[in-house]
Amino acid sequence: MMKNNPVDGVIVVNKPKGVTSFDVVAKVRRAVGQKKVGHAGTLDPNVDGVLVVALGKATKLIDELQSRPKRYIGEITLGFATETEDLDGTVIAEQPIKTPFSDEAIDQAIQALNGEIEQVPPMFSAVKVAGKRLYEYARAGETVTRPVRAATIYDFHRTSPITFNQAQQTFQFEATVSKGTYIRTLAADTGKQLGVPATMTSLTRTMGSGMDLSQAVDLAQIMAMDREAVLTHVVPVKTILTWPVKALTDDEWFAVKNGQKITSWPANDAYLQLTYQGELKAVYAYDTADQHWQSRYVFTNE
């Protein structure tokens, strides 16, 4: 890998189906020519759409980027279920729909899953139980008790007419959800509300970490560009962050670059972006228990 000046920021990639999120990171790493690259929120290989890839110092912000809401569009089919809750798995249940559910019944089932809910993650997922991923148990034919996880469904609604074909019903949806939500499970739970098996039959992420498809670059385009062209699509760290900005005095900068806690600033439940001579240096967070500001992210001490 060539030695280049390090790049800090994010690239919003439109991930195609058929590649893993790790594949995308590896390709961006080669395109930019630096090792420090990560992503904010895995997309399954059969899911396309927004994958936010962090470069350099922006990798420090991956936990923050992952905490932001995500939006998806997709399709749910009622009448069968798979072991993976999507089309990648073997069919494990079928129930022909003889009398189609009304629009109202399906919309009520969807509405019941809006708000604060609990989900049981699919066996074919990366959630760890006793040090092993659930998919490892599933592949070994073992069953374990899966943890119940909280999720917030900000908005889940149907976006198309409902079709009825070969004893199955299918419709399109849009869902804006919190970190950790399994859309596959949301599809399966929609079926449970109606008393029939259901499967997520397609999925696209249209927004992640506050960035949407209109900002995304196709992975194929990135691979066809030279490095300088790729860098024109990098979103700077200061553009990613939305917290209040505080310009530091000389004395404050001395304290911040030495990692000191600060008690003289007014209390606030938000983070503060700290700049010195126009450059973003760090982010501080307020500790309400100890009543002081302390370092949350450090970008540079120089």
Of the candidates 18, 24, 50, which has an alpha carbon nearest to the alpha carbon of residue 37? 24
Amino acid in the structure at residue 70: K
CB 227 within 8 A of CB 256: no
CATH for the 70-203 domain, from 3.40.50.300, 3.30.2350.10, 3.30.43.10, 3.40.50.2000: 3.30.2350.10
**Over the stretch 130-158, which tens digit does the pLDDT of each residue have?**
777 777 777 777 778 878 889 999 999 99
Residue spans in the chain of domains classed CATH 3.30.2350.10: 9-68+210-239, 70-203
**Over the stretch 96-134, which tens digit does the pLDDT of each residue have?**
999 999 999 999 999 999 999 999 877 666 667 777 777
Read off the pLDDT band of 262 (50, 70, 90): very high
Residue spans in the chain of domains classed CATH 2.30.130.10: 241-298
Among 8, 23, 44, 287, the active-site one is 44
pTM for the structure as a whole: 0.89
Give the gyration radius of the chain's Cα atoms: 23
CB 205 within 8 A of CB 247: no
Instruction: Say how far apart CA 70 and CA 60 lie, in whole Å.
Output: 19
**Over the stretch 187-230, which tens digit does the pLDDT of each residue have?**
999 999 999 999 999 999 999 998 999 999 999 999 999 999 99
Read off the pLDDT band of 3 (50, 70, 90): low
Beta partners for residue 52, in sequence order: 12
Contacts of 135 (CB under 8 A, 6+ apart): 123, 124, 125, 126
The helices-and-strands tally (H runs, E runs) of the chain is: 9, 19
Kindly report the length of the chain: 302
Here the tokens at position 189 are: 């739970």
Average pLDDT over residues 264-284: 90
SS3 107: helix
**Over the stretch 15-62, which tens digit does the pLDDT of each residue have?**
999 999 999 999 999 999 999 999 998 898 889 999 999 999 999 999
* Cα–Cα separations (whole angstroms), residue 134 to 56, 130, 144, 152, 226: 31, 10, 8, 22, 40
Is residue 44 annotated as part of the catalytic site, yes or no?
yes
Write out the DSSP string of 47-64.
-EEEEEEEEGGGGGGHHH
Does the domain formed by 241-298 have CATH 2.30.130.10?
yes
| Top-level class of domain 9-68+210-239 | alpha beta
Q: Residue 162 gets which letter from DSSP? A: P
Residue 34 phi, psi dihedral angles, 5° rounding = -145, 155
Q: Return mean pLDDT, the chain.
A: 92
